[in-house]
Amino acid sequence: MYVVVQHKFLKPEAAFPRGQALIDGTGAPEGTRVLQFYPHVEGSAATCLWETESVEDVQRFVDTTLGDSSINVCYEVDAEMAFAESPRGLKQSSASAS
């Protein structure tokens, strides 16, 4: 399944270094990985797309990793209604596909 996470950063100076573990997948539940990361230009928020087995896995992983630096809202994507296209001008992830 796909899950979207909307982050509201309360302490961006802490959230971004901690968030590197999310990008790297350090400690991620089995079958869970981030696919896309869209940070706000001012660093106050971000939206991410995850591939996972459950919303709860992502919620727990994100909340534990970011701690008090962020409020995180996770929800399952309706795959029947969703669509995606590779946006021009955004770099490809350096993370290997697993």
Kindly report, residue by residue over 6-56, the tens digit of the pLDDT.
999 999 999 999 999 999 999 999 999 999 999 999 999 999 999 999 999
What six digits make up the tokens of 33? 């990985």
Evaluate whether 7 touches 23 at the Cβ level (below 8 Å): no
Residue 94 — very low, low, confident or very high, per pLDDT cuts 50/70/90? low
- Mean pLDDT confidence for 73-84: 94
Q: Where are the domains of the chain?
A: 2-76
- The CA distance from 28 to 6, in Å, is 18
The architecture that CATH gives domain 2-76 is 2-Layer Sandwich (3.30)
Residue with tokens 């981030």: 34
Is beta strand 2-9 parallel, antiparallel or unpaired with respect to 33-39? unpaired
Which tokens is 17 given? Answer: 């270094």
pLDDT in the model for residue 98: 45
CB-based contacts of 86, cutoff 8 Å, min separation 6: none
Q: Is 63 exposed, middle or buried (0-12, 13-18, 19+ CB in 10 A)?
A: middle
